[in-house]
Amino acid sequence: MPLPNEPTLALACDLISRASETPEDAGCLDLIQARLAPLGFRFERIDVGGVCNLWARRGEQAPVLCFAGHTDVVPTGPLERWDSPPFEPTIRDGMLYGRGAADMKTSLAAFVTSIEQFIADHPNHSGSIALLLTSDEEGIASHGTVKVVEALAARGERLDYCIVGEPTSVNTLGDTIKNGRRGSLSGTLRVKGQQGHVAYPQLARNPIHMLAPALAELTTIRWDEGNEFFPATTWQVSNIHAGTGANNVIPGECEVMFNFRFASVSTADELKARTHEVLDRHGLEYTIDWHLSGKPFITGRGKLVAALSGAISETLGVETELSTTGGTSDGRFIADVCSEVVEFGPVNATIHKLNECVAVDAIAPLSTVYMRTLRTLLAA
């Protein structure tokens, strides 16, 4: 379809038309860089392992307000089940359809147009504006934002405020800001026994039977009580495997995969130690492979939350709520170099689904919210 006249909608359509399935960027970063170049930004490409990363900054002074996001999208799923091609942006019944419409190409477009409008109004603004963009968020996220953050940390470059454009709204644009995320700690537990015939259990050691009491105890532990922003830490088993497939063989090993989603009142090391204490007390012979995919982070009710909440109220007439629900995001990496990190973007009802879409009448207001946040924090 021809590009619409409204600037944010037009740019969102241009971005959606680029088939940037993770970790592909498909030229999205080049498009965004071309839009920002006339505005006096400095650009740095930090591409690693086939992943495209862009760091852009305008200004040298603090405070630094950074917009962060990703150009990559999840796979489309069966093309025949889409009502229109996923990489051909389509407007019908007041909705913009296409893969990435909500997660998160509309946010990227709104970043750019909000910056353009703000600089037009405040060419000599205080502080600095930055963008941190990657094509590796929907995948394994090992060569994306984390690598840019490492480069910033290595040279002592810190941020004061960061808005990640994740689709956080639930029912209507502006109803929810994510001001933190739980940590995610996974473990693969392998309990050793001794394989044998089920008719001669005295000659074998069944690791499932041995593990069962400890597993039952782990499911009942109250790991912490959470706090104002986080629910209590949870521990969940996601997979159990043992045996050869025969019904007359006692297995020699049992493997259990589990995950902690943990609040900021607990640390990964504390959770590991408590897990080991239970398993050791039950006398198990075992190993655990641990994987920490994200530490918890939290941003309290400071300047960024106040500025963004005020912009939402001014633009949309919505009183926003703070939330830390959901999975992990790249905010977990950015929090290492930034004092205040929040996430805010479109309604998330269709993300990762067939026929992903976003309301057309919410696209320009999203840009206005970002622009007014810039105005509150950086206007000279």
Write out the catalytic residue numbers. Answer: 72, 137
88 within 8 A of 101, measured Cβ to Cβ: no
DSSP string, 232-281: PPEEEEEEEEES-S-TTEE-SEEEEEEEEEE-TTS-HHHHHHHHHHHHHH
331 within 8 A of 179, measured Cβ to Cβ: no
Does residue 197 have a known ligand-binding role? no
Partnered with residue 298 across adjacent β-strands are 180
Does residue 276 have a known ligand-binding role? no
CA angle (194, 195, 200) in 5-degree steps? 100
Does residue 175 have a known ligand-binding role? no
Which residue, 57, 66, 94, 73, is CA-closest to 164? 66
Q: Give the Cα separation of 212 and 279 in Å (integer).
A: 11
186 within 8 A of 262, measured Cβ to Cβ: no
Rounded to 5 degrees, φ, ψ at 261 are -110, 110
Structure tokens at 119: 């600089």
Amino acid (one-letter) located at 288: I
Q: Give the Cα separation of 35 and 112 in Å (integer).
A: 7
CA atoms within 13 A on the CB side of 380: 12
Does residue 356 have a known ligand-binding role? no
Does residue 143 have a known ligand-binding role? no
C-alpha distances (whole Å) from 63 to each of 60, 127, 160, 284 are 9, 5, 6, 53
Would you say the C-alpha torsion 277, 283, 289, 293 has a positive or negative sign? negative
Q: Residue 94, exposed/middle/buried by CB under 10 A (0-12, 13-18, 19+)?
A: exposed
CA dihedral 13, 14, 18, 22 (to 10 degrees): -70
Binding site: which residues? 70, 103, 138, 166, 352
Binding site for Zn(2+): which residues? 70, 103, 138, 166, 352
